[in-house]
């Protein structure tokens, strides 16, 4: 029976603080710190506590070369090896551990850079209610009172006498749309958008405007936003709540064929419930008639940028570019929009059937008609 260490694992030192009454009574320090270690492995997606014996075994067992289990047990003890196998930090060719090996193989095949995989997997949420976290933090006045003011809104990097004054920005054809662009937090729960309006939003944001073969068999899509390497790995999954002529549900937008592919049919109540869960209970976004999940097919990006320290950053930039194009198109249509990274990625993955090691959910954006009046404060451009 053969085994090896998992592909990627990070060890974080931790310590537990406790009152030391014996020390305190004898005039010593009142607190005692007990050191420990935690393993963070992207293929598991959860922390694993380690003792010194397990830590030593992990450091001695190769992540590439298969080793005889009996030899590892002889060196580190059968109980330690069994525990590491059960926890999923060691990979074994025994069918009993096949599920763990499959997850580790998926991570290896994806060409993730280790730190990027760690950050992506362990920053995902499941079942989080962001509005409750925000309420617990208090109002902005509460934050200022507790923390003082944040760093200043604008800074100087040179002496005022050395600064070069620029002429006023000339007017341009994009100004009207730019100044109408805003984040909406008061969507009309009874309003819908037209099918034609949705079509323009999706096609001009995510759709292929041209196709070009840039190497033998390698097709690049020309879109209205830039993408690292011209690879455009971001897929758009659309939650329809209220679009004229389109049934509520989850859809995948086909970037080349300009069609909505059904993923999961939902009734109106289910669609709203999923939208609320997706945006982590941020109710000020939940009534948008359309939401779009931005999820990256990492294999598309990592095909070129394998184990690259900038690859994941490039993917998040791609999502940012697309969201702002979406914002501008929504503003053109007279619709407020939003984007949020405070989302329950794990719940979204489950609903869409996505694997976080292959389809990285980055953010959710959306738009729709505004509710008359203001229930939640918005920072609008004042003319």
Question: 177-186, 279-288, 363-372 — which is least confidently predicted?
Answer: 177-186
Query: Does the pLDDT at position 382 exceed 70?
Result: no
Domain positions in the chain are 2-109, 130-137+177-367
pLDDT score, position 314 = 96
pLDDT score, position 20 = 80
pLDDT score, position 353 = 97
120-158 tens-digit pLDDT: 999 999 999 987 777 777 788 888 999 999 888 898 999
Whether domain 130-137+177-367 has CATH 3.40.630.10: no
Find out whether 370 and 186 touch, Cβ atoms under 8 Å.
Answer: yes
89-118 tens-digit pLDDT: 999 999 999 999 999 999 999 999 999 999
pTM score, two decimals?
0.90
End-to-end CA distance of the chain: 73
pLDDT score, position 28 = 80
pLDDT score, position 19 = 82
| CB half-sphere exposure, 16, CA atoms < 13 A | 7
Euclidean distance between CA atoms 223 and 258, whole angstroms: 13
222-246 tens-digit pLDDT: 999 999 999 999 999 999 999 999 9
Euclidean distance between CA atoms 265 and 267, whole angstroms: 7
- Enumerate residues 6+ apart whose C-beta is below 8 A from 378: 182, 183, 184, 185, 186, 336
Query: Does the pLDDT at position 318 exceed 70?
Result: yes
Euclidean distance between CA atoms 373 and 147, whole angstroms: 32
What is the Cα 149 distance to its own chain's centre? Answer: 29
Burial zone of 300 (CB within 10 Å; 0-12 exposed, 13-18 middle, 19+ buried): middle
**Vertex 243 angle, CA 238 and 246, to 5°:** 80
**383 pLDDT band (50/70/90 cuts)?**
low
Find out whether 374 and 186 touch, Cβ atoms under 8 Å.
Answer: yes
Question: 10-19, 49-58, 82-91 — which is least confidently predicted?
Answer: 10-19
């Amino acid at each position: 029976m053969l085994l090896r260490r998992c592909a990627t694992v990070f060890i974080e030192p931790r310590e537990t603080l406790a009152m030391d009454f014996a020390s305190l009574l004898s005039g010593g320090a009142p607190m005692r710190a007990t050191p420990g270690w935690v393993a963070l492995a992207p293929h598991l997606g959860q922390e694993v506590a380690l003792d010194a014996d397990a830590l030593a075994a992990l450091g001695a067992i190769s992540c590439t070369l298969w080793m005889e289990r009996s030899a590892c047990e002889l060196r580190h003890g059968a109980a330690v090896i069994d525990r590491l196998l059960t926890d999923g930090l060691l990979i074994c060719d025994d069918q009993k551990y096949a599920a763990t090996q499959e997850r580790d193989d998926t991570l290896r095949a994806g060409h993730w850079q280790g730190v990027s995989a760690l950050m992506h997997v362990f920053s995902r949420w499941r079942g989080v209610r962001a509005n409750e976290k925000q309420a617990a933090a208090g109002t902005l006045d509460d934050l200022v009172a507790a923390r003082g003011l944040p760093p200043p809104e604008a800074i100087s990097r040179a002496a005022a006498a050395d600064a070069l004054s620029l002429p006023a920005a000339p007017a341009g054809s994009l100004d009207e749309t730019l100044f109408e662009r805003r984040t909406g937090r008061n969507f009309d729960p009874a309003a819908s958008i037209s099918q034609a309006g949705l079509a323009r939003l999706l096609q001009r944001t995510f759709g292929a405007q041209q196709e070009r073969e840039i190497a033998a068999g390698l097709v690049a899509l020309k879109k209205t936003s830039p993408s690292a390497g011209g690879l455009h790995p971001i897929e758009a999954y659309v939650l329809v709540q209220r679009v004229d002529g389109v049934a509520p549900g989850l859809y995948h937008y086909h970037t080349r064929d300009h069609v909505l592919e059904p993923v999961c049919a939902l009734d109106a109540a289910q669609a709203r419930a999923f939208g609320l869960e997706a945006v982590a209970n941020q109710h000020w976004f939940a009534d948008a008639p359309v939401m779009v999940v931005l999820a990256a097919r990492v294999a598309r990006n990592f095909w070129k940028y394998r184990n690259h320290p900038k690859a994941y950053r490039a993917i998040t930039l791609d999502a940012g570019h697309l969201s702002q194009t979406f914002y501008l198109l929504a503003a053109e249509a007279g619709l407020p929009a939003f984007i949020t990274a405070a989302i329950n990625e794990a719940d979204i993955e489950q609903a869409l059937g996505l694997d976080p090691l292959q389809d990285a959910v980055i953010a959710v954006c959306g738009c729709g008609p505004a509710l008359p009046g203001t229930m939640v404060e918005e920072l609008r451009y004042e003319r």
